[in-house]
Structure 1
Amino acid sequence: MEPSNGTRGRVVMLVDNGVKADSRVQKTARSAAEAGWDVILLGVSPTSKIQSWRLGGARVRLIPKPAHLEPRRHELRHPLLRRPLAYRSQRIARYRVQTAKAWRSDLAFRRAAATAARGGHPGTSAGGSPARLLLPRAAARALAAWVGLRARETDRLQRLRAPLTAPLDRTSTALWSKLMGERAWRRLMPGLWDYELAFAAHIDAFEPDLIHAHDFRMLGVGARAAVRARARGRAARLVWDAHEYVPGLPAFHGRWLPGHIAWEKEHAPFADAVITVSPPLARLLQEEHRLPEPPAVVLNAPVTRPAADELADAPPPGDLRALCRIGPDTPLLVYAGGISPVRGVETVVEALTALPGVHLALVSVTPRKMKAVASTKVAAARAGVADRVHFLPYVPHWQVPQFLAPADAAVSPLRHLANHELALSNKFFEYARAGLPLLVSDIRTMAEVVAETGTGEVFRAGDAEDFARAARTVLADPERYRAAYRAPGLLEGWTWEAQAEILEALYSRLLPDRPPLPPPPSSSLSASVPSGDSR
């Protein structure tokens, strides 16, 4: 198909989130649009309405995704065999409990009204003399007790069912996996269909020449869209951008991993090309999916030349040390990113007890309240270091290196998790661009890169004492580690601009009949983000 609207071709990008917190997706869409592709990025709307905006030359459209197939099958069946007294669902249980409370409240009102009326107060007794209310009150108490019993049984049933790890659950999961193989997700995780049903019409209407599917959920959505296009005579190309190693992810319940692994295995063969985030993950994906060639590695590196609209839309970042209310001589560690138990932030908080005078900035606060942030504040207070732990809001992804640069060192305390062992995260490259000495846990890939480049120290994951040891080493001579970044070519390769060239080469290879990359207009030049290596 010929390119539309004077562009090199139509590109649909797919992601299973709201885009705004996903810097890799944003950078990919912007870069493709700057390279002359007609890009529309489809994500999931947080509301029941479509939301639209632009990322440079790329269009963004967030689509509502109902979760009609998300309830698990057992939630739609009567619990007669496991808990015969339980209600069919917790929603029904909550309704029944509230109804019983409402009846007792109304009876109390009627009794109080009768008492007040006898005292000469305004109003009527509402037909509620004590004698007349005696039987209804006894019935309401009995109903409340019965409903309470059934509600407790429903809660127990939910706790039993939710993990899907009971013997019956494990047996049925294994049975479906054995019988259906790669098709087993249809029984184990039917909610994945909700993504296709939400996105399919939007993808098909755009008639893409290339579909760029971010991560494992959108791999299936993109593969199915590509198959539909090919069946209609359009040679739509599919790029799978594998952000994660699915078997290494934490499971939410007993069917989550086998369901998603089956989904990925069924749809991976439809990809014309695969890209991913690190060399170890590329090797693993090629082996597991028997890919004809190794995936291209596109690192999660930071933007060094933000676009003019980004510069115009965001105010300059504040001063990190001023926000922490500390001076230039106070030792400051910094962490940027989300907080959760597997990210190991509490290890660093605990270690502060052995690092007197050292402060920690956590650039982790989002507009919505996060339980993990609250629990970390509690941990800091419990350790007696709350006055040295500072919670700061996120800044736009292209401002992160500049914002973090005034710190003395950056931390990445990830816990051991199969997916973490393969990771080279956004923050790793943002810290490097800021010129910060690194304190990383001994997860395999990042620890190897730090040891090879000499840009920091490695500590045992989850070990606060060993973290304190590594931090003392770095803080004693931070310039030694900053100097490592001056190795020829190191930081030049760790930029998004370098990664965008890999993406462009891949697109051009898949669509070789398209015009070459146009030269950038002189008016598009924008300010670069400083490396931060000035201290």
Structure 2
Amino acid sequence: MGTASRGRVVMLVQNGVEGDSRVQKQAASMAAAGWDVTLLGRSPNGEVQTWDLGGAEVRLIHVRRAFKRRRHELRSHWARDPLAYPFGPIQIYRERQLEAWRAEIGIRKARIAIDAKHQSGAVTRLRKAALVPRRAAVRAAGTWADVRSAHTERLCERREAMDGRVDAFAIKFWKTVLGDRSWRRLDPALWDLELSFGPVLDRLEADLIHANDFQMIGVGARSVIRRRARGARVKLVWDVHEYLPGIKSWIDHPAWKDAQMAHEREYAPWADAVVTVSDTLADLLMERHGLAERPEVVMNVPDLDSRPEADDPVPDIRELCGIGPSAPLMVYSGAPMARRGLMTMVEALPDLEGVHAAFVVAKPEWADIRSLVARSEELGVADRVHLLPYVPHWQIVPFLAGADIGVIPIHHYLNHEIALITKFFEYSHARLPILVSDVKTMAAKVNETGQGEVFRAKDTADFVRAAKLILADPESYRKRYDTHVPLTEWTWPSQAAILDRVYTEALR
């Protein structure tokens, strides 16, 4: 864009960009609006990757996970378990050493067997007897190594879980002593993001940094601090996708969530502007962080006009499932996690005769999806369960439109209660009747518009009831899109205009 650029923007996201429709739409639309946009993401395979996204440069960088282990996991083992091996390679070395000793004994036995053909029986017996102490010593060493290995594994598990009384005291101690700085002790892995993204971000010398979600706010804020100290005029926009106190921890560790919240609280005050995904979340952020101004709401709605001219044809969802136009098809599109309620869909199939279920997921190898497939086989409905790959975000609406029902079976978590999530808007633009669990915001919207039915979360029988209502007369629900659903408001250009205004005002 050269001299015509309205300013240099660097967007930060803690993922590989592909599959994250929000950041993709943001980057492309802001580039189209005249901003010089670079989107920094995290490489999934450790290799630096770059590509163009609607005029924005996407750059994935390698994040070294030096702090994957917390400091206490590397300490001496003596106080916790003197029988465990010390941290480091000695356990593996010892195991391989024992294998080598056993291999040596095997070779000696083989040589005795070969030489027995050419020597007296007495000599052979003596040589075999000479091996007995060696074999006994190796056997004893192996038994002792097994004991120490078992103790080591238990120690590692305890240290990783950090769920003992001493651990609870340590967590409380650091939270009390360090306050919002306690994340440095509780989850030093946040430094891995800083040490990988920070130098790249500083070199780009952005006029505006757009940090997506709670882990990248620190990376963006620290760059702002460094550059302002050198006299630069740089602004920080914080894009909050989720309400952190309401999420389920990504990592099964008692200190992880406390660390993320402390990190967020420390750096939230550095944001010059805050945007988020819903009015409810905007209100919660005002209260939680004492913001001077209410965050602007930029909903993650579909971009129906962004399809490239050279794009591939939109896949036929029914063809991918191997079914005809008359077979009832319900679809779920999104992350394949248990708390999203996907198992309810599978367990409903025995009572929904002839109905097929398509799961459009990016990670079909995840354990939760394998559990779905195994359960479908137990129930005898595996032939009606279909795993489909993601399509580009500009294809998702026409792709989903081939189904009969869009399903959102999520469980009751705070973040699920407060948002109209991305797939809600995608299903709506695909004009699908929506079958949603009774999470507060989406259930209220469906009841208001009449565009679908609500069932009790985790209640398979109630799911079946609601699905049958829709399948009995799907057109009556589709007609509500003509009269009761504000589809024109739920389009990306209107949201991109809000984000563009946020950028402009931040740089004044």
Which category describes the TM-score, using the shorter chain as reference length?
over 0.9
Please show how residues 188-227 of structure 1 align to structure 2 within 5 Å. 188-227=186-225
| CA shift in 2, pair 1:113/1:52, >3 Å | farther
Aligned partners of 1:50 and 1:64 also within 8 Å: yes
Matched, 1:321 2:352: no
Cα shift readout 1:461-494 (whole Å, capped 9, x = no counterpart) = 1111111111111111111211121137711111
Alignment partner of 2:248 out of 247, 250, 257: 250
Q: Aligned partners of 1:50 and 1:323: how far apart in 2?
A: 33
Structure 2 partner of 1:96: 94
Q: Aligned partners of 1:433 and 1:103: how far apart in 2?
A: 68
| CA shift in 2, pair 1:489/1:376, >3 Å | closer
Aligned partners of 1:56 and 1:307 also within 8 Å: no
Aligned partners of 2:19 and 2:390 also within 8 Å: no
Structure 2 partner of 1:145: 143
Matched, 1:504 2:503: no
Could you list the structure 1 runs, at least 4 aligned residues long, displaced by more than 6 angstroms after superposition: none
| CA shift in 2, pair 1:393/1:118, >3 Å | farther
| CA shift in 2, pair 1:435/1:80, >3 Å | same
Deviates more, 1:76-85 or 1:105-114: 105-114
| CA shift in 2, pair 1:99/1:458, >3 Å | farther
Structure 1 partner of 2:449: 453
Alignment partner of 2:345 out of 348, 351, 376: 348
Q: Aligned partners of 2:286 and 2:86: how far apart in 1?
A: 45
Aligned partners of 1:90 and 1:155 also within 8 Å: no
Structure 1 partner of 2:279: 279
Q: Given the two structures, how large is their TM-score scaled by the length of structure 2?
A: 0.94
Alignment partner of 1:407 out of 389, 403, 407: 403
Deviates more, 1:420-429 or 1:178-187: 420-429
Matched, 1:267 2:291: no
Percent identity of paired positions between Structure 1 and Structure 2: 50
- Please give the root-mean-square deviation of Cα atoms over the aligned residues, in Å: 2.0
Structure 2 partner of 1:530: none
Q: Aligned partners of 1:117 and 1:295: how far apart in 2?
A: 86
3-state DSSP of counterpart to 1:333: strand
Alignment partner of 1:332 out of 329, 332, 340: 329
Structure 2 partner of 1:289: 289
Q: Aligned partners of 2:90 and 2:479: how far apart in 1?
A: 64
| CA shift in 2, pair 1:230/1:41, >3 Å | same
Q: Aligned partners of 1:488 and 1:423: how far apart in 2?
A: 19
Structure 2 partner of 1:518: none
AA matched with 1:183: R
3-state DSSP of counterpart to 2:226: helix
Matched, 1:376 2:376: no
Q: Aligned partners of 1:287 and 1:62: how far apart in 2?
A: 34
In structure 2, runs of 5+ residues without a counterpart are 119-125
| CA shift in 2, pair 1:36/1:114, >3 Å | farther
Deviation of 1:246 after TM superposition, in Å, equals 1.2
Deviation of 1:405 after TM superposition, in Å, equals 0.8
Structure 2 partner of 1:441: 437
Aligned partners of 1:365 and 1:373 also within 8 Å: no
Cα shift readout 1:357-394 (whole Å, capped 9, x = no counterpart) = 1111111254x732222111101111221111111111
| CA shift in 2, pair 1:141/1:484, >3 Å | same
Structure 2 partner of 1:520: none
Deviation of 1:119 after TM superposition, in Å, equals 5.6
Deviation of 1:306 after TM superposition, in Å, equals 1.9
AA matched with 2:385: V
Q: Aligned partners of 1:441 and 1:84: how far apart in 2?
A: 51
Structure 1 partner of 2:476: 480
AA matched with 1:173: I
Q: Given the two structures, how large is their TM-score scaled by the length of structure 1?
A: 0.89
AA matched with 1:350: E
Deviation of 1:72 after TM superposition, in Å, equals 1.0
Q: Aligned partners of 1:16 and 1:98: how far apart in 2?
A: 38
Matched, 1:358 2:355: yes
Deviation of 1:129 after TM superposition, in Å, equals 5.1
Please show how residues 74-89 of structure 1 align to structure 2 within 5 Å. 74-89=72-87
Deviation of 1:444 after TM superposition, in Å, equals 1.6
Q: Aligned partners of 1:89 and 1:417: how far apart in 2?
A: 38
Structure 2 partner of 1:519: none
In structure 1, runs of 5+ residues without a counterpart are 121-127, 513-535
AA matched with 2:381: V
- The alignment of Structure 1 onto Structure 2 pairs a total of residues equal to 499
Matched, 1:69 2:47: no
Aligned partners of 2:307 and 2:395 also within 8 Å: no
